[in-house]
Amino acid sequence: MRRSDASRRAILLAAFELVGEVGYAKLTIEGIAARAGVGKQTIYRWWPSKGAVLFDAFLALSEDPQGDPALPDTGDLEADLKLVLRATVAELSDPRYDAPMRALTAAMLNDPALAAEYEQRLDAPMRALKRARLRSAQEAGQLPSEADLDLAVDLLWSPLMRRWLERAELTPAFADAVVETALAGLRAR
Partner DNA sequence: CCTTAATCGAGACGGTACGTCGTGTCTTCAT
Partner DNA sequence: ATGAAGACACGACGTACCGTCTCGATTAAGG
Tally the C-alpha atoms within 13 A of residue 133's C-alpha that lie toward its C-beta.
24
Look at residue 161 and give the partner it binds from DNA, a copy of itself, none, a contact being a CB closer than 5 to 8 Å depending on partner kind: a copy of itself
Residues that bind DNA (CB under 7 A): 1-4, 7-8, 10, 26, 28-31, 36-42, 44-46, 49-50
79 binding a copy of itself? (CB under 8 A): no
Are 47 and 53 spatial neighbours (Cβ–Cβ below 8 Å)? yes
Look at residue 119 and give the partner it binds from DNA, a copy of itself, none, a contact being a CB closer than 5 to 8 Å depending on partner kind: a copy of itself
Look at residue 166 and give the partner it binds from DNA, a copy of itself, none, a contact being a CB closer than 5 to 8 Å depending on partner kind: a copy of itself
User: What's the min distance (Å) between Cβ of 103 and DNA?
Assistant: 13
Nearest to 103 by CA among 14, 11, 47, 22: 22
* 3 state SS of 145: coil
Look at residue 1 and give the partner it binds from a copy of itself, DNA, none, a contact being a CB closer than 5 to 8 Å depending on partner kind: DNA
106 binding a copy of itself? (CB under 8 A): yes
- Number of CB atoms found within 10 A of residue 76's CB: 14
User: What's the min distance (Å) between Cβ of 6 and DNA?
Assistant: 7
Are 7 and 36 spatial neighbours (Cβ–Cβ below 8 Å)? yes
157 binding a copy of itself? (CB under 8 A): yes
User: Is residue 86 classed exposed, middle or buried when 0-12, 13-18 and 19+ CB atoms within 10 A define those classes?
Assistant: middle
Quick one: 61 or 184, whose CB is closer to a copy of itself? 184
Crossing angle for the helix pair 29-36 and 5-22, nearest 10 degrees?
120
174 binding a copy of itself? (CB under 8 A): yes
Q: How far apart are CA 77 and CA 169, in angstroms?
A: 25
145 binding a copy of itself? (CB under 8 A): no
Q: How far apart are CA 108 and CA 105, in angstroms?
A: 5
Chain residues binding a copy of itself by CB under 8 A are: 23-25, 102-103, 105-106, 108-112, 115-116, 118-119, 123, 148, 151, 154-155, 157-159, 161-163, 165-168, 174, 177-178, 180-189
